[in-house]
Amino acid sequence: MEIRRTTLRNRIVSALSNALSTLPFVLAGWEGGSAAFDLVDEYSDIDLNFLLDGANAEEPFYAAVQLALEEVSPVVACHSEPPGRYFKLAASGDFLLVDVCVFQKGDYVEYLDPERHGKLQPLFDKGEWLRFKPSERDSQETRRAKRSQDLEEWFSVSQSFVQKAIDRGQEAEALAAFWGYTLKPLVELLRMRYCSTRWDFGMRYLQRDLPGPVYNQLRDIMFVGEPSDLKEHHAKAVVWGQLLLQELELSRAGDPPPKAG
């Protein structure tokens, strides 16, 4: 029988926090995801993150996770997807997954940034591991600038992969190329323009991060009704991407880009 969802969430979080905080190689734990944005709903996963001391700690850590979860409900599925593992419980219904991610001391700080990942919900902290310093954003800004330069050089050139698949009548290949070479980089450019702190989040949180009219415009381009419509959708996306590249260049030069709408 399915346990009431809010009660189940609380039981899972408490069980894992209590069990893992006692392990000497677990330095800190926090909840992120929807909880960090105060947007938990009936479809939300439980996104838990833990800082470990040493790479050899990962297997005993996940063994402890499994035992703690089994105390709440039998685990019916487990899937590894670095930096974490997903767990499905028998009592969790269709949508609730437990996503348990692990980090080492040198690779976790960016996940504490409230502008990117929301206000984390601490479970425990055995030091001051969960303090974020704004100076830590410098590496993200460097990566974003590098990616922007890459897109300036490659976005327009790479559209030939889409166009020649269309011209050859290779409909499935053309649609795949449209997603890979046009839509994905277009989303990166839109994020750099309207939500630069999460420029590398891909399709996640798009409805939240983009202005409404911009989101709707992107949605209309993404949804191709018939294969014969792809050429028109591709042309619109390319023009938009080139415009965004120009706006980003103006912004770097100190000129404000036009407002959305």
Quote the longest CA-to-CA distance of the chain: 62
Give the separation between CA 188 and CA 225, rounded to whole angstroms: 24
Residue 126 domain flag: yes
pLDDT tens for each residue of 38-90: 999 999 999 999 999 987 899 999 999 999 999 999 999 999 999 999 999 99
Whether the predicted pLDDT of 209 surpasses 80: yes
- The whole-angstrom separation of Cα 199 and Cα 142 is 12
Range of the domain at 118: 1-132
* CATH number where 24 lies: 3.30.460.10
Residue that finishes a domain, picked among 132, 154, 185:
132
Averaged pLDDT of the chain: 93
Tell me 46's DSSP state: E
Across the range 226-232, mean pLDDT stands at: 96
For residues 158-183, average pLDDT: 98
**Statement to judge: residues 4 and 127 lie in one domain:** yes
Q: What is the pLDDT of residue 134?
A: 80
- Helix locations, 104-170, DSSP H: 114-117, 138-167
Phi, psi torsion values for 128, nearest 5 degrees: -120, 45
Whether residue 231 has pLDDT greater than 50: yes
Angstrom distance (rounded) from CA 62 to CA 212: 41
Phi/psi at 204 (nearest 5 deg)? -70, 140
**What is residue 255's predicted lDDT score, i.e. its pLDDT?**
60
Nearest to 12 by CA among 89, 121, 81: 89
**Single residue among 132, 149, 172 that ends a domain in this structure:** 132
The answer to whether residues 13 and 75 belong to one domain is yes
| Cα–Cα dist 37/114, whole Å | 9
In a shared domain, residues 231 and 106? no
Counts of helices then strands in the chain (DSSP H, E): 9, 6
Verify that 70 and 157 share a domain, yes or no: no
Q: Indicate whether 88 belongs to any domain.
A: yes
Sheet holding 75-81, edge to edge: 75-81, 84-89, 98-103, 46-52, 26-31, 121-125
Share above pLDDT 70 across residues of the chain, in percent, rounded to a whole number: 94
DSSP H/E element including 30: strand 26-31
Is residue 9 within 8 A of residue 46, CB to CB? The reply is yes
Residue 257 lies in a domain: no
- Token match 């103006």: residue? 250
Q: Is residue 183 classed as helix, strand or coil in its secondary structure?
A: helix
Domains in the chain, number = 2
Q: Which of 80-84, 163-167, 252-256 shows the lowest mean pLDDT across its residues?
A: 252-256
The pLDDT value given to residue 260: 61
% the chain with pLDDT above 90: 84
pLDDT band with cut points at 50, 70 and 90 for residue 1:
very low
Q: How confident is the model at residue 261 (pLDDT cuts 50, 70, 90)?
A: low
Last residue of a domain, one of 85, 113, 132: 132
DSSP letters, 50-109, are EEESSGGGHHHHHHHHHHHHHHHS-EEEEEEETTEEEEEETTSTTT--EEEEEE-TTS-G
pLDDT for residue 7: 87
Answer for the pair 179, 237: CB distance below 8 angstroms, yes or no: no
Confidence of residue 6 (pLDDT cuts 50, 70, 90): low
**Is pLDDT of 3 > 50?**
no
pTM: 0.86
